[in-house]
Amino acid sequence: MDEVLAIAQSTWQRILKMFVVYLLVGCAIIEIGITLLYDTLTMHHHRMLMVDLSLVLTTMAGLLTVLALAFDLPREMREGGAATLLSKPIGRYQYLLGKYFGILLVSLVVTGMIATGFCLVHWLSFKSLPPSAIQGHILAVVQVIPIAAIGLFFAALLSEAAAAIMTAVTVWIAHSTPMLAKYPIVYGGLLPDLNLFNMRAEATYNVAINGPYLLMVAAWGIAYSVALFALTALIFNQRDLK
């Protein structure tokens, strides 16, 4: 476990030490605050726009952070860093697990900071914070669990650019899988449904998203990530590394 944590630490420390991460988070929060000026332009729907934009930015930030992994892992394998690391008594799945936890922590920190910034801006602007908006943001933050697993899957198989593109495309398409809900195991088991985390409209219209739903979706995200991680590790074990 120590090896896993060490790899995870090296990943998150490297990214979270970058000043640009905080600059981008700050820009996102400023952008959320700017929606206050859209009062007239939206015919007084600026609060709705603020919640929605914040959820969009949180989701995008989570995806972009995971894409960092899509570039990081193939580069390590290409440059031989991974092979050097794996020459030590570390299992391949431990290496992947370390990478996964590292990027997951970074994603949770980045999305969590944007969500917290939104809560602050909303409270200062409207002197209130609807529970549905908080619940919507919790879903947007938790969404990074399966997204990171998807990113890891492609990063372990493909080159940098291909992994990044495939991750983005899969995340995009994974919002349309509810139409496959009639196929058991395929839906939710083999193919992810990231639309389960999409309660943006409900969050903006103050429709309560209950706690059991949040827990159920989080449980699904974890179960799907475990399945995809196992598949990734199976394939990664068969790969020849430099």
Partner 1 sequence: MRRSTYVLIGVFIAATVIAGSLGRLALERQLSIANTRDMVSIRPMAGFQKFAADIHWMLFIQYGGANDVDAETAPEFYRRIMRIISNDPDFYRAYYTGVLMLGPVAPNLALDIADRGLNNPRVRLHWELPMLAGQIVMNREKMKYYNNQPMDQQQLRLANGYFEQAKNCPGAGGIALRSYVRSLAALRPGDERLELKEIAAWYDYWQRQRRPLGYYGDGESNRMDMDVEELLLTQMRVAKARFPNDPEVEKLVERIVSEAFPARRLDPVTLQEYDAGDLYSPHSGVRVNVYGICGACSAVLKGRYCHRCGADSQPPAIPSGTIKPPPPPKADSRKGRP
Q: Is 239 left (phi over 0), alpha (psi -120 to 50) or beta?
A: beta
CA gap 18, 174 in Å, rounded: 30
Subset of 11-40 contacting partner 1 (CB under 8 A): 38
134 part of the interface to partner 1, by CB under 8 A: no
Q: Which is nearer to partner 1, 12 or 153 (CB)?
A: 153
Q: What single letter denotes the amino acid at residue 88?
A: K
Q: Which is nearer to partner 1, 80 or 178 (CB)?
A: 178
Which residue among 30, 83, 161, 186 contacts partner 1 (CB under 8 A)? 186
Q: How far is CA 54 from CA 22, 66, 78, 97, 124, in A?
A: 16, 18, 37, 30, 15
Instruction: Please report how close the Cβ of residue 48 comes to partner 1 at its closest, in angstroms.
Output: 7
Instruction: Please report how close the Cβ of residue 145 comes to partner 1 at its closest, in angstroms.
Output: 12
CA gap 41, 96 in Å, rounded: 48
Centre a 10 Å sphere on the Cβ of residue 134 and count the other Cβ atoms it contains.
16
76 part of the interface to partner 1, by CB under 8 A: no
130 part of the interface to partner 1, by CB under 8 A: no
Residues 6+ apart with CB under 8 A from 117: 25, 28, 29, 32
72 part of the interface to partner 1, by CB under 8 A: no
Point out which residues bind partner 1 (CB under 8 A).
Answer: 38, 41-43, 45, 48-49, 52-53, 56, 59, 91, 93, 171-173, 175-176, 178-179, 181, 184-190, 193-202, 204-205, 207-210, 212-213, 216-217, 219-220, 223-224, 226-227, 230-231, 233-234, 237
